[in-house]
Amino acid sequence: MLLKKGPLTAIIAVDIRYTFEPQDRGTFVNRQLDLTIQIPGLLKVAEPLVIWVFRKENVRILAELKRCVEAQPKARDLNTSGSERAHSGN
């Protein structure tokens, strides 16, 4: 991906992998980010800033994913509600 932001031009390759592992009564989510950055010339000094931005975004995305998942009804609640509705009509 070519990134152009003001005077900064960089080529960035991003590979993101998610793994989900059962843990206690929940799920552990690991988001692994492999990042390759090519910044030409003197602007290479901006590389730590670019890495910091990606790390910050990684934390934000995981927090948002957690918020969205926790806002959903639990599977057992869905099963109970569905079976109650199915039986209430009989």
Q: Does residue 76 carry a pLDDT above 70?
A: no
- What is the model's pTM? 0.61
- What is the spatial distance between Cα 40 and Cα 80, in angstroms, rounded to a whole number? 59
- What is the spatial distance between Cα 86 and Cα 83, in angstroms, rounded to a whole number? 5
Mean pLDDT to the nearest integer, 13-29: 90
Higher pLDDT, 78 or 85: 78
In terms of DSSP H, where are the helices of the chain?
47-71, 75-88
**For residue 26, what pLDDT is reported?**
85
Q: Contact 57/30 with Cβ under 8 angstroms?
A: no
Confidence of residue 86 (pLDDT cuts 50, 70, 90): very low
- Its domain, for residue 75, covers 2-88
